[in-house]
Structure 1
Amino acid sequence: MLALALGLLSLRFLPALPPAWLLLVCAALGLALLASRLYLIGFFLLGMVWACTSAQWALDDRLVPAFDGRTLWLEGQVVGLPAVANDVVRFQLEDALSRRGELPQLIRLSWRNGPEIRGGERWRLAVSLRQPHGLVNPQAFDYEAWLLAQRIGATGTVKAGQRLSEAGGLGAWRDQVRQHLLEVEAFGRAGGLAALVLGDGSGLSTADWRLLQHTGTVHLMVISGQHITMLAGLLYGLVAGLARLGLWPRRWPWLPCACVLALSGALAYGLMAGFEVPVRRACVMIALVLLWRLRFRHLGAWWPLLLALVVVLLAEPLAVLQPGFWLSFAAVAVLIVVFAGRLGSWSAWRSLGRAQWTMAFGLLPAMLALGLPVSASGPLANLIAVPWVGVLVVPLALLGTLLLPIPWLGEGLLTLAGGLLALLFLVLGQIASWLPAWLPSSVPWWALLLAVLGAALLLLPSGVPLRLPGLFLLLPALLVQSKPVPHGLAQVWVFDVGQGLSVLVRTREHALLYDAGPSFGDFDMGERVVLPSLRALDVRRLDLLLLSHADNDHAGGASAIVHGLPVALVRSGEVERLTLELQAEPCTAQRWQWDDVEFQLWRWAEGGPGNPSSCVLRVSARGESLLLTGDIDNRTERALLGSELPAQAEWLLVPHHGSRSSSSPGFLNAVAPHGGLLSRGRHNSFGHPHPQVVARYIARDVVLHDTAEQGALMLWLGTYGEVSGLREQRRFWREK
């Protein structure tokens, strides 16, 4: 089983999937090795072959390139629970059909200002389809990996639609239950109750998720193994307690009844949650643990964990692409190490306290490896929140949901559960303000290995030698810093923020951020992309936040940056249009040096509001220059050529994302770049870059580097080298 599990897990680390002929060879070799009783290598090969084959099936089910960006009429059924946020309805369509050709089995759609959509309904829709594509940055959520793990083969935007049939089946029932839950007066926490009962987190705001992240309690607001395990444990404990008190009927053996009742409760809870991948994983683990408790305790505590790992991966090999998979199994492994085989018994509070601090240390290497925020307040917050949610809120919420046909009783229990949840959020808010989460820098492999060894030592029983040195082995992973920028050079990052702009310029001792990306409602690129990327690159403060102008696609994420990092100074070409909290100073012509790297600012004073007011920055290192232009237009380009700012530069940030109103022939002739950096969103509604603009660059032999095609771009200014894109780092799930 261990060899098979390792073969299945190897999928996560493959840069590309092997070709079909090689998989056939490996499968034949694996079977031959099994026949020769070389089980370890044989099962490893078979596990890898099955994982790669399943992943290839998912990749083959993606939208064909011919339909990418096209609008088609299609028909399909809504699955899951549609979510509504900022007047946008997001839902998934299953078994979509179109007369134009074959479509993926599952499509994720969004509909701005769309009508009410219920799970189980059938719709005919006009959809602008897109192949799965996500932003690629030094540190950010990997949307493409998530889509593949969900086996979503396309995304799209709905232009128009017609409901063909009303909702029916399980999806309609779950949607109806959600509507009842959201209508309950639950002290403003009806959305949290829907998350705990149905696994629907759309009712939680961005601020709620941020609070849960800071306190390390995200796992409490999504139906995970912990919730289902707690419910199964309560049902099991109820039967065991009755048997111990002599109140259980003697003609019914209490242990099989306890196991059956616990598993039935877990499955019923999973049914309400829609049996998503984490829920299925939890139910499998609970079923195997109960089977082990019933018949196979002599095999030890590791047997059900290993068997559950194999069963889950055989059923869905793509689970390895989700951080929750690694964290859930790592958490169970930590608990087995801490509690299995211990002599004597601990009180409930001592057990809970020990579980929290050991989980904090035991999961730290996994959190660092996955690039997830580390909450120092997590042990304290979970010590309060785990029993509060598991023993009080979840049972009351589930019981209230079941009793909704009796309005005064069901709604009363839900109101009580909502009040308890509201009180918990107040407590968590105080904890988060006292000790927020910390996002570490990228950790090298050697520091991760030391952290794993240190965590393993700390988890050993008390009295075992060498436990305390484990703390010192954790320090390199927590304190290691990235290699500093060499003196006289500048490291330039053009982050992949979609239709917007954010550029980091680092010297040996200083850091400047030119623009902060856009913000769309609750989705803030400054918070979701730029800030995590800065921290991953070990940027802990900014000497200057330079906002070219105040348009949303350039300054929308600025507030998140100012709140998330110490910023010494904010400058902008349009101070009057920025929020007061930024306390920005106007952009004026000036020149300075950091670590022998020269910086020059310029702004057209007569440009007027909007794009012409963009503040232009020229950076020079060892004779090599970069010109950052914001959204300047043709008139501003002519004014710049008549100014004291040198126009010539080896690298040019393509003005205004490649708009037809910029990159005039005269400007390109004066700058004479040999490379252009283009920041834009794929399939953006403005049509950037314009074909005429691209033709101008091509005619001058200027190589364009595009964030939409290459991900975040990195350049070492002063070395006269080339630009590299993060999408060049091969991952089998990323579009080539």
Structure 2
Amino acid sequence: MQQSTSLLPLPMYAGSLLLVSAIMMRVSRWRVGLCLLAGLLIGAGYATGRAHIRLEARVPDALDRTTVTWQGTVTGLPERADGGVRFVFKPDATSDGAGSIGPLALSWYPDDGLDESMTRVRPGARFSLTIRLRQASSLFNPGGFDHAGWYLAKGIGGLGYVKNGVLIATSGPSVDATRDRLRTWIESEISPPVAGPLLAMALGDQSRISDTQWDTFRVTGTAHLVAISGLHVGIVAGLVAACVGGIWRRVPWLVCRIPARHAALCCAVLAALAYAALAGFGIPVVRALIMLSVAAIALIGARQSAPFRVLLLAMVAVLVFDPWAVLSAGFWLSFSAVAALMLVLSGRLARQPRWRQFLLAQAAISWMSLPIVLGVFGAPSLISPLANALAIPVVSIVLVPVLLLAVVSGSSSLLSLAAWVLEHLMTALSAMAGWSIELSWTSPPPWLVMITCAALVVSLLPRGTPTRRVAALCVLPLMLWRPEGPSTGAVWATVIDVGQGLSVLVRTASHSLLYDTGRAYYRGGDAGRSVVLPALSKAGVHQLDMLVLSHDDNDHVGGAESVMSGVRVQQVVGGVGVELKDRTVDPCVAGVSWRWDGVAFDWLYPDHGPAAAADNDRSCVLRIRASGHALLLTGDITRDGEARLISGTDLSDVWAVVAPHHGSKSSSSPAFVNAVNAEHVIFSAGYKNPYHHPARVVVERWEAHGTRSWNTATVGAVTAALGQGGPHIEGRVTNGRRYWHRH
């Protein structure tokens, strides 16, 4: 259901369920299959009902990009950075227009710096805020992150930024207020580089972890150690269960009243519940808490339930709580890890040493997680098993227990000890990150991941199982899989949906070129890291033969440094004024041409004449030709640049053109449109961008000429293919839309 493009009406599920029930009462032969079908209908109907409720809680179209003044309450832990604060705000239902709108993810960055009201944004505080509202939207790219789906799963109704606000009432006692005080205490005691991961492991607050630390965790495959999840909940529950059980068994009158096992399990669940509250009841933590509770109930009930039946029951309970969990890689990684442990450690008659069980468990988890890691992230690290073999014991046996004791007791000495352990662990992980070699694997399709997971389950079964060793070989197709690419003489050009900006990936049979890299964001980060690199990985591109930076505007070159740090770049070519640190930028000059795999590339502009006065008219213009058709990449040239371009160049073979300057009124002159005579024009623009690109008059001018227009803001990434069966063009939304997407 979560993969559907639209929601079916609930009466359809009810009617289907009644029909299946009626058939079941009359036919006994297919009762098992009908029971499964009835269960699927109930589950799909329940998830659909929950989805309808979530969709109703989103910011409606009428309020998108409008300014409102609402009263409400701050929830969760606010994040303070760069002179501002980001927080979740739950508007009152009584506020004018708020109605049933869910919590809002807001940012508050006053132009005149931190003001007194903003410093008092605390959990539970009540404010009257003037907010510029915005609906959550997604960029549609192969391998791209779905922001709209992520916000929907978290129950966030919309986004916005605060223009001004007034404090109505300060916060009272609450769990979040306690978490906020603990965060302040940890930050006052520990220096920032170490405080970030400590806050993540103690309170679930990952906002203080630096990009460098995230890179270390990613390369070593240890990011799960700082994101509170099943491992941390299991550590807390296991320690409490061991302590309570050990003490309980030594007090006869306690054992006579309540079995030690039951007491240990109950205390373990209560401890996990307290830890979940300390972590802010994040979805991964609640998921682990539900799994633990289901297992505890099964053990306390003294039922000899099969382990996998308990695991299946836990999965059902998690999906009842959160139907969107299936969209999270953490959901599948958690259950695959538990399943791997059950397969290799349970039901074995021969007893093994503890150290061998630990190594076997680590190997089984890594083996079982491999298809999911490849399917989601694409490039596993070879150093990950070694890094986890070191980090998991340190975190589970030393760091987390000491840290939680420090938080509970308020001991600065214990907190300093935890910081010392973490500092040395980070030093070791950083060294391992330097040794690591990331393999250039490409994310395989979901169907191949599912088949491989099923085969790996068979490979972990006990010795003597038929086809056990053969099943292990089924991982080879997954590791050797490569995405489809253009053949010799053909070229594929994908205009990546980077929002307001431009980035075009051009591929031939054995070469790749990236034309521009999108923009750098105002408050940190850039499209190169968050959008372009995932798109390159999904396409199987791990090296660029040429990186073109058309001109020095931020929305075209802002992501260049991130792209060059993520993939190997053989040559950088740029327009006048483009400069990079520690990298030579070759100029693009009209008249220079080359061929890759039977495809012709020509620089058409700028020429050898005097440099254009405007930066936009210094843009590199590239023509790509294959099988008698051409694609034209124009950067941000204006009417002046267009006039110089068409004055001495025949553009009659252009089949598709990326519109100059995102469809601005200053470009796409009638003379240029007539000279190009393209069948398709592609506008790279942001959804509801403040510049109103592409201008309506420009779109109408192209369409009046018989040209079909494509806008990345509405259709996502657009791919134009020349050669290999004739020219073809399509938008990403044709196969990437889900029911929660608005456009």
Same fold per superposition (TM over 0.5)? yes
Distance 1:346 1:234, change over 3 A: farther
Cα drift, residue 710 of structure 1 = 1.0
User: 1:112 maps to which residue?
Assistant: 109
Indicate conservation of the 8 Å contact 2:578/2:585, yes or no.
no
Letter of the 1:603 counterpart: P
Indicate conservation of the 8 Å contact 1:618/1:626, yes or no.
yes
Q: How does 1:279-428 map to 2 (within 5 A)?
A: 279-371=285-377, 373-404=379-410, 410-428=411-429
User: 1:278 maps to which residue?
Assistant: 284
| C-alpha distance in structure 2 between counterparts of 1:720 and 1:464, whole Å | 51
Cα drift, residue 119 of structure 1 = 1.8
Cα drift, residue 285 of structure 1 = 1.2
Deviations 1:592-623 (A, max 9, x none): 11222111112255114632221111111112
User: 1:66 maps to which residue?
Assistant: 62
| C-alpha distance in structure 2 between counterparts of 1:650 and 1:445, whole Å | 34
Q: For residue 285 of structure 2, give the secondary structure of its aligned residue in structure 1.
A: helix
| C-alpha distance in structure 1 between counterparts of 2:98 and 2:388, whole Å | 51
Indicate conservation of the 8 Å contact 2:549/2:578, yes or no.
no
User: 2:501 maps to which residue?
Assistant: 500
Indicate conservation of the 8 Å contact 2:629/2:653, yes or no.
no
| C-alpha distance in structure 2 between counterparts of 1:651 and 1:300, whole Å | 61
User: 1:17 maps to which residue?
Assistant: 7
| C-alpha distance in structure 2 between counterparts of 1:161 and 1:688, whole Å | 32
| C-alpha distance in structure 1 between counterparts of 2:624 and 2:528, whole Å | 23
Distance 1:676 1:102, change over 3 A: farther
Matched, 1:607 2:612: yes
Indicate conservation of the 8 Å contact 2:245/2:263, yes or no.
no
Q: For residue 299 of structure 1, give the secondary structure of its aligned residue in structure 2.
A: coil
Q: How does 1:561-576 map to 2 (within 5 A)?
A: 561-574=563-576, 576=577
Cα drift, residue 141 of structure 1 = 1.6
User: 2:126 maps to which residue?
Assistant: 122
Cα drift, residue 474 of structure 1 = 0.8
Answer with 489-498 or 464-473: which moved more.
464-473
Answer with 98-107 or 26-35: which moved more.
26-35
User: 2:538 maps to which residue?
Assistant: 536
User: 1:5 maps to which residue?
Assistant: none
TM-score by length of 1: 0.92
Deviations 1:283-328 (A, max 9, x none): 1111122222333351121232121111121222122222222221
Deviations 1:474-525 (A, max 9, x none): 1111111222312222111011111111101111121111011222254232
| C-alpha distance in structure 1 between counterparts of 2:650 and 2:557, whole Å | 24
Cα drift, residue 242 of structure 1 = 4.1
- The one of 546, 549, 554 equivalent to 1:547 is 549
> How many equivalent pairs are there?
720
Distance 1:29 1:429, change over 3 A: farther
Matched, 1:686 2:710: no
Indicate conservation of the 8 Å contact 1:284/1:308, yes or no.
yes
Cα drift, residue 188 of structure 1 = 2.6
| C-alpha distance in structure 1 between counterparts of 2:378 and 2:524, whole Å | 20
Matched, 1:441 2:438: no
Cα drift, residue 389 of structure 1 = 1.1
- The one of 73, 82, 99 equivalent to 1:102 is 99
Q: For residue 304 of structure 2, give the secondary structure of its aligned residue in structure 1.
A: helix
Q: For residue 498 of structure 1, give the secondary structure of its aligned residue in structure 2.
A: coil
Matched, 1:482 2:483: yes
TM-score by length of 2: 0.91
Q: For residue 266 of structure 2, give the secondary structure of its aligned residue in structure 1.
A: helix
| C-alpha distance in structure 2 between counterparts of 1:34 and 1:383, whole Å | 52
Distance 1:447 1:311, change over 3 A: closer
Q: How does 1:204-243 map to 2 (within 5 A)?
A: 204-242=209-247
Indicate conservation of the 8 Å contact 1:149/1:322, yes or no.
no
Indicate conservation of the 8 Å contact 1:440/1:536, yes or no.
no
Answer with 371-380 or 34-43: which moved more.
34-43
- The one of 125, 144, 149 equivalent to 1:145 is 149
Q: For residue 203 of structure 1, give the secondary structure of its aligned residue in structure 2.
A: coil
Letter of the 2:686 counterpart: G
| C-alpha distance in structure 2 between counterparts of 1:572 and 1:221, whole Å | 40
User: 1:178 maps to which residue?
Assistant: 183
Letter of the 2:107 counterpart: S
Letter of the 1:531 counterpart: L
Letter of the 1:701 counterpart: G
Letter of the 1:697 counterpart: W
Matched, 1:261 2:263: no
Indicate conservation of the 8 Å contact 2:92/2:98, yes or no.
no
Indicate conservation of the 8 Å contact 2:10/2:48, yes or no.
no
User: 1:52 maps to which residue?
Assistant: 48
Deviations 1:629-676 (A, max 9, x none): 111122222222234474762212111122222222222222222221
Distance 1:641 1:64, change over 3 A: same
User: 1:4 maps to which residue?
Assistant: none
Indicate conservation of the 8 Å contact 1:494/1:713, yes or no.
yes
Matched, 1:560 2:566: no
Cα drift, residue 442 of structure 1 = 3.7
Indicate conservation of the 8 Å contact 2:517/2:557, yes or no.
yes
Indicate conservation of the 8 Å contact 1:77/1:122, yes or no.
yes
User: 2:194 maps to which residue?
Assistant: 189
Q: For residue 267 of structure 1, give the secondary structure of its aligned residue in structure 2.
A: helix
Deviations 1:2-35 (A, max 9, x none): xxxxxxxxx2333332123312312433554676
Indicate conservation of the 8 Å contact 2:378/2:443, yes or no.
no
Q: How does 1:605-684 map to 2 (within 5 A)?
A: 605-608=610-613, 610-644=615-649, 646=651, 649-684=654-689
Q: For residue 568 of structure 2, give the secondary structure of its aligned residue in structure 1.
A: coil
Indicate conservation of the 8 Å contact 2:102/2:158, yes or no.
no
Q: How does 1:130-169 map to 2 (within 5 A)?
A: 130-168=134-172, 169=174
| C-alpha distance in structure 1 between counterparts of 2:578 and 2:201, whole Å | 42
Runs of 4+ more than 6 Å apart: 244-248
| C-alpha distance in structure 2 between counterparts of 1:278 and 1:226, whole Å | 10
Answer with 505-514 or 63-72: which moved more.
63-72
| C-alpha distance in structure 2 between counterparts of 1:400 and 1:446, whole Å | 46
